[in-house]
Chains A and B, each alone.
Chain A
Amino acid sequence: MLTFTIRRLLMAIPTLLFISLIIFLILDLAPSDPTANLPLTIPPDVRADIRASLGLDEPIHIRFALWLQQFFVNEPLNLFEHWTGWNFGGEDRTRVISWQTRSPVVDIIAQRMPQTLWVVGTAYIVGILIALPIGIYSAYRQYSIFDQAGTFITMVGFSIPPFFSGVLVIVIFAVQLQWFPSVYDTTHVVIGWDSFVIQIKQMILPVMVLALQITSQISRFMRASMLDNLTQDYVRTARAKGLKESTVVLVHVLRNSMIPVITVIALGVPQVFGGAIITEQVFKVNGLGHLLIGAIQSGDLPTVQTLTFIFAVLIVLFNLIADVLYGILDPRIRYD
């Protein structure tokens, strides 16, 4: 297993370099202009100077190499110096700078990450906790009223986009009932019980919207996987052994059914980091999805490039984690 993991990590390096090149090329081909949002009164030659000051007049391979150096050498060194307090004598090291704010992209990401993890991460956990029992029970009582209702609700959850369900819950719970705020306040600091309650209240609506989608997806997987296993012969063997029905379902069937579901859950984690672009937008959660959409709109290529690349790293990493989990959970799979 260890050699497999190391081999996969080594193989990930060329993969990720290739991905970063593709992202860079796509962004370069896109007809976006970082000066497009500036006032129209600025004359064209000044605009050209602004572009030159951003380094856009350099040929593409130079710009890509510079980004590689900034992201893979300068930023890690910087981080290392920051953590250890040592100095490698690189005061003039250029960092990946956002064209919008002129501050280092990595610093902005570090600021935005907690909001996303709180809201989207909570939604992910809540969604999984609701989805698993629903999936298990609907499979165990296939075609029962519970199963039919569950199928209906998950279909609704699948098919209603968050820009609709988000606005809908705002109209119901924030405008009509006035239970929860419609906007997530990222400057809110939890210092005591009262502020904690406010934090929970402002999280409920975005978490609800996201959890609906996550629950729908995972409960369907859980149900399908349980159904697969419930009809297997070893379940009959377990019943013939005279085991309790709860042992048969929750030990024999569930353990085997969890293998594909855990993989799906692991593969979904990068989405948590990626943020929910639309939901963050609807509830004004100042997270990574919000950052990405803003950066795309203003043609802030370094931010878009860096964020997208970090997502790619997470996806590659969690694919590996899913594979390793598979090997741990299923004794039939051996990688060495």
Chain B
Amino acid sequence: MFDDSTSRRKLVSVSGLKMYFPIRGGLLRRHSGDVKAVDDVSFDIFEGETLGVVGESGCGKSTCGRAVLRLYDLTAGTVLVDGIDISTMGQGALRKIRPVMQMVFQDPQACLNPRMSLADIIGEPLVEHTRLSKADRLARIYELMDAVGLNRDFANRYPHEFSGGQRQRIGIARALALNPKFIVCDEPIAALDVSIQAQVVNLLEDLQKEFGLTYLFISHDLSMVRHIADRVAVMYLGKIVELAAREGLYRDPKHPYTQALLSAVPEPDPVAHDTANRTILKGDVPSPSNPPTGCNFCTRCPQAMEICRQLDPEFREVEPGRFVACHLFNENETAG
């Protein structure tokens, strides 16, 4: 499945993406360091696929998603969306490209303006980027509400009158308004009830089929990513440690962190649950403002070697379409 993807068109291409947030301290608020939220990340997303990004809280998943859409000013790196380099573009020029790339946010309550009615929220991008007449605009709003399964009678209601799942549908309808090609879904289901999560994920899948969308799906829910993603990137402390097709990654995780992460997934079968051989990581994630020298994972890695504490492993292709950043595989390669 993955092998032929090289022939497919790259819709999004990210290379060397760095997003540092300055730490200012002291009396004069001097620049005293950086939080390296995203530190040298590279990946491609092919047209029509879903790239899942997983990792624990604070590993830089959301920042990465926002940086790809240029909701931040990047520290370094290039981002190509639909063949256009948006990494250094000014916000004015960027505005014209925004219709192509949209985002579904994590917290469906906070991300909707509480003083705007549903029709205003969904319709605002249309006012800004199209020249539709009022009637056409309303027709388009109704069309979008139908697409995400919202009752048309709700058009004049305000966000606080909806449930979490409905609000997330509003957020999705809003993102769809301008026929985007690429949508970043930033933990769209994290704030939802489990019974609603499936509905929203299925909706996202249906919309992908219907409109040929490309997703960057950020989540910490490994099972959900397994369900929706074609390829999965695993992030740890601002870096991608492993990037592979879904099946390969879940069947045979290479990076020690991926192994630990996958072994933490709850097992529904009680017998298997009790006998499961789990890799339990010790210690905490180091601070992204002061990452360890060498490999970022070396402080917690069960298989850490001497070299891991000195050299940062290269993010390299160990099998076709399979990227791992770990010295274990560099050695294997040189040995084999």
Interfacial residues of chain A within 248-295, with CB under 8 A of chain B in the complex: 252, 255-256
Residue from A240, A243, A256, A329 in contact with B102 in the complex, judged by beta carbons closer than 8 Å:
A240
Interface residue from A233, A239, A242, A243 paired with B110 (Cβ < 8 Å): A233
B113 contacts A237, C-beta separation under 8 Å: yes
Report A's interface with B, CB cutoff 8 A: 143, 232-234, 236-245, 247, 252, 255-256, 329-332
Q: With A and B bound together, what is the CA distance between A237 and B173 in angstroms?
A: 13
For B91, give its contact among A238, A245, A329, A332 (CB under 8 Å): A245
A330: chain B residues within 8 A (beta carbon) = 114-115
CB distance from B117 to the nearest CB of A (A): 8
Asked if A243 and B124 sit within 8 Å, CB to CB, the answer is yes
Q: Within the assembled complex, what's the spacing in Å between the Cα atoms of A81 and B312?
A: 93
- Which B residues are within 8 Å of any A CB, using their own CB? 29, 66, 69, 71, 91, 94-99, 102-103, 105-107, 110-115, 117, 124-125, 128-129, 158, 160, 171, 174, 178
Query: Are A234 and B128 interface neighbours, CB within 8 A?
Result: no
Task: Give bound CA distance, A256 to B114, whole Å.
Answer: 8
Please pick, from A143, A239, A256, A329, the residue contacting B113 in the complex, using a CB distance under 8 A.
Answer: A256
* Contact present for B125 and A242 (CB under 8 Å): yes
Q: SS class of chain A's interface: helix, strand, loop or mixed?
A: helix
Judge whether A332 and B113 touch: CB under 8 Å. no
Inter-chain contact B95/A240, CB cutoff 8 Å: no
Q: Tell me the smallest distance from the CB of B52 to a CB of chain A, in Å.
A: 20
Chain B nearest CB from A201 CB (Å) reads 43
CA distance A8 to B124 in the complex (A): 38
Complex Cα distance, B95 from A143, in Å, reads 27
Q: Which 8 A-B pairs have the closest CB atoms?
A: A242-B98, A233-B110, A233-B111, A331-B158, A234-B113, A241-B125, A237-B111, A242-B95
Contact partner of A234 (CB less than 8 A), chosen from B69, B91, B112, B178, is B112
Instruction: Considering the complex, give the chain A residue whose CB is closest to the CB of B101.
Output: A240
CB <8 Å contact, B158 and A241: no
A–B pairs, 14, beta carbons within 8 Å: A143-B29, A232-B110, A234-B111, A237-B103, A237-B105, A238-B124, A240-B69, A241-B128, A242-B97, A242-B129, A243-B95, A243-B128, A245-B91, A255-B115
Known contacts A143-B29, A237-B112; is A242 also within 8 Å of B128 by CB?
Answer: yes
> Is B113 a contact of A331 with CB atoms below 8 Å?
no
Smallest CB gap from A232: residue in B? B110
Decide: A241 and B110 in contact? CB cutoff 8 A. no
Q: Which of A143, A234, A239, A244 contacts B71 (CB 8 A)?
A: A239
Query: CA separation between A203 and B102, bound complex, in Å?
Result: 55
Chain B residues near A332 (CB-CB < 8 A): 114, 158, 160
Cα of A243 to Cα of B91 in the assembled complex, Å: 10
The answer to whether B111 and A331 touch across the interface, beta carbons within 8 angstroms, is: no
**Cα–Cα, bound, A143→B22 (Å):** 14
User: A266 CB to closest chain B CB, in angstroms?
Assistant: 18
Decide: B114 and A234 in contact? CB cutoff 8 A: yes
* Residues A241 and B174 in contact in the complex (CB < 8 Å), given A233-B105, A233-B110, A332-B158: yes
- A72 to B174, alpha carbons, bound, how many Å? 58
**Of all chain B residues, which has the CB nearest A331?**
B158
Q: Using Cβ atoms and an 8 Å threshold, which residues of chain A touch B66?
A: 236
**Cα distance, A241 to B128, chains bound together (Å):** 9
Most A CB atoms within 10 A — which of B111, B125, B129?
B111
A226 to chain B, nearest CB (A): 15
Report how far A239 CA is from B71 CA in the complex, Å: 7
Write the chain B residue with the least CB distance to A236.
Answer: B71
Residues of chain A within 8 A of B174, CB atoms compared: 237, 241
Known: A143-B29, A242-B125. A233 touches B115 (CB 8 A): no
- Tell me whether B113 and A244 are in contact (CB under 8 A): no
What are the residues of chain A within 8 A of B97 when measuring CB–CB? 242
- A240 in contact with B128 given A232-B110, A234-B113, A330-B115 (CB within 8 Å): no
Q: Which chain A residues lie closer than 8 Å to B129 at the CB level?
A: 242
Could you list 13 further interchain pairs (A-B, Cβ under 8 angstroms) beyond the known A239-B71, A242-B129? Answer: A143-B29, A234-B114, A236-B66, A237-B103, A237-B105, A237-B111, A237-B174, A240-B103, A243-B95, A244-B95, A244-B128, A330-B115, A332-B114
Q: How far is the CB of B102 from chain A (nearest CB, A)?
A: 6
CB distance from B26 to the nearest CB of A (A): 13
Cβ-defined partner of A240 (8 Å) among B71, B112, B160: B71
Which chain B residues lie closer than 8 Å to A242 at the CB level?
A: 94-99, 125, 128-129, 178
Cα of A244 to Cα of B91 in the assembled complex, Å: 9
Please indicate the chain B residues that have their CB under 8 angstroms from the CB of A331 in the complex: 114-115, 117, 158, 160
Contacts of A233 in B (CB 8 A): 105-107, 110-111
B residues near A252, Cβ cutoff 8 Å: 113
Tell me how far the C-beta of B161 lies from the nearest C-beta in chain A, rounded to whole angstroms: 9
Residues of chain A contacted by B128 (CB below 8 angstroms): 241-244, 247
Q: Determine the distance from Cα of A236 to Cα of B178 in the docked complex, in whole angstroms.
A: 17
Partner of B98, one of A143, A234, A236, A241: A241
Question: B106 contacts which chain A residues (CB < 8 A)?
Answer: 233
Which of A232, A244, A331 has the most C-beta atoms of chain B within 10 angstroms of its own C-beta? A331
CA of A100 to CA of B218, assembled, Å: 78
**Nearest CB in chain B to that of A234: its residue:** B113
> In whole angstroms, how far apart are the Cα atoms of A330 and B66 in the complex?
29
Contacts of B125 in A (CB 8 A): 241-243
**Complex-state Cα separation, A233 to B168, whole angstroms:** 13
Interchain CA distance A143-B28 in the complex, whole Å: 11
Q: Check B98–A238 contact: CB distance below 8 A.
A: no
Closest to B184 in A: A240
Instruction: Please determine whether A240 and B98 come into contact, CB atoms closer than 8 angstroms.
Output: yes
Closest to A242 in B: B98
CA distance A242 to B89 in the complex (A): 14
In contact, A236 and B105 (Cβ under 8 angstroms):
yes
CB distance from B94 to the nearest CB of A (A): 8
In the assembled complex, which residues on chain B have CB atoms less than 8 Å from the CB atom of A329?
A: 115
With A233-B110, A234-B113, A330-B115 known as contacts, the answer to whether A241 contacts B124 (CB < 8 A) is: yes
